[in-house]
Structure 1
Amino acid sequence: MTHTIFDTPIINTLFRFISTLGLKLAGWKLSGKKPDARKYVLIAAPHTSNWDFILVIAIAFKFGVKISWMGKSSLFKGPMGPIMRWMGGIPVERSRNTGLVQQVVDRFNACEDLIVTIPPEGTRSKVGQWKSGFYHVAVGAGVPIALGFLDFKTRVGGFGPMFFPSDNYESDLKKIQHFYQGMTGKRPHRF
């Protein structure tokens, strides 16, 4: 398991304070409770803006959850690479088929505790349908899916229920997406 900002002693306390203050000043409220599981896929939706990342990190600190997140490999080049990894980042190559699902499943299998945040849209842009990778990672690793959300309309973010995949993607996806109906991203036209 890698050492991240979430388990760096003094930094963790400082960022928890900053997150609490920042969320309060921005008018955000938290909903739900920290999932009672050591390993799970955390989907974060709607994902329509770079602000989503900042809010997800702040909410993770507030809930006391050590998350990892997947980001395009270009974010991890040069001097920013170690910083992004320290912030919980996992670089992924999105331009070609690289066995990404199996790589994340292998990481789950190698760790006792792991929470990987995956935006189901796969991008901040509007998409016709969600990418299925988050689901296949959860099924392949035998872990549940936590339904994380940011609703900019109500300024509420947090955790919805845990979802246990049945291996029937189409049926499960409808149930998962039903939870997100009525939620608004920062850029509503993208969700």
Structure 2
Amino acid sequence: MKQAFCRFIYHTLLGWKAKVSVPDFDKCIICAAPHTTNWDLFIGKLFIGAVGRESGFLMKKEWFFFPLGPIFRWMGGIPVHRSKRTSMVEQIIEKVKQSDKFHLAITPEGTRSANPEWKKGFYYIALGAQIPIVLIGIDYEKKCITADKYLYPSGDIEKDMREIKLYFKDFKGKHPEKFDLGKI
């Protein structure tokens, strides 16, 4: 029922397409980009539901006020306290290890503004938990979300981040000027 509802909204009402060829891993980190608008969350959640998969997501804690906080938590949201130095990576690694299934979507830019210095927490979570990183590209120009590449982190972060960034080079966010791959 949920999948049919998401498909109807995603495909029929909004006119978006989905290209998915990656396996449905029991555990993975989803690296989703470009992230240039708040609409990415809703389009992304509809996409995940339409293809019959599940995923939680990280979001800055400031969005978890009433009445949005309970809604975002229900949708799988995990608040991030960006001003504090916490062991979020280690906490998530432990959660992954304790779970039979675990899917978490993270936007590597960490903001909707142009940021050439991508956050690397998603990489360290996948490396520490020994799970794949599924790359999901959001393309507003083509109205298509693509999930056709994944990788297991090798430990060579420079090499792996270059491969990850190159994957996203042809995707167009809602506001392309707000997407910056940085040095690759």
Q: TM-score normalized by structure 1?
A: 0.87
Contact kept in structure 1, 2:10 and 2:50, CA below 8 Å: no
Which letter maps to 1:142? Q
User: In the alignment, which residue of structure 1 is the partner of 2:88?
Assistant: 100
- Secondary structure, counterpart of 1:160 in structure 2: strand
- Which of structure 1's runs of 4+ aligned residues deviate more than 6 A? none
User: In the alignment, which residue of structure 1 is the partner of 2:144?
Assistant: 156
Q: Shift of residue 34 of structure 1?
A: 5.2
Is 1:72 matched with 2:60? yes
Is 1:17 matched with 2:22? no
Is 1:174 matched with 2:162? yes
Which letter maps to 2:106? I
User: In the alignment, which residue of structure 1 is the partner of 2:182?
Assistant: none
- Structure 1: distance between partners of 2:113 and 2:76: 23
- Secondary structure, counterpart of 2:37 in structure 1: coil
Contact kept in structure 2, 1:59 and 1:158, CA below 8 Å: no
Deviations 1:81-134 (A, max 9, x none): 332211111111011221111121111112110001000101111102211111
- Structure 2: distance between partners of 1:143 and 1:180: 20
Aligned residues: 178
Which structure 2 residue ranges, 5 or more long, are not aligned?
Answer: 180-184
- Structure 2: distance between partners of 1:35 and 1:85: 26
Q: Shift of residue 79 of structure 1?
A: 4.0
Q: Shift of residue 146 of structure 1?
A: 0.3
Q: TM-score normalized by structure 2?
A: 0.91
Contact kept in structure 1, 2:29 and 2:131, CA below 8 Å: yes
User: In the alignment, which residue of structure 2 is the partner of 1:51?
Assistant: 39
Percent of aligned positions that are identical: 35
Is 1:128 matched with 2:116? yes
Is 1:114 matched with 2:92? no
Q: Shift of residue 78 of structure 1?
A: 3.5
CA RMSD of aligned residues (A): 1.4
Which letter maps to 2:45? I
Contact kept in structure 1, 2:30 and 2:104, CA below 8 Å: yes
Which structure 1 residue ranges, 5 or more long, are not aligned?
Answer: 1-12
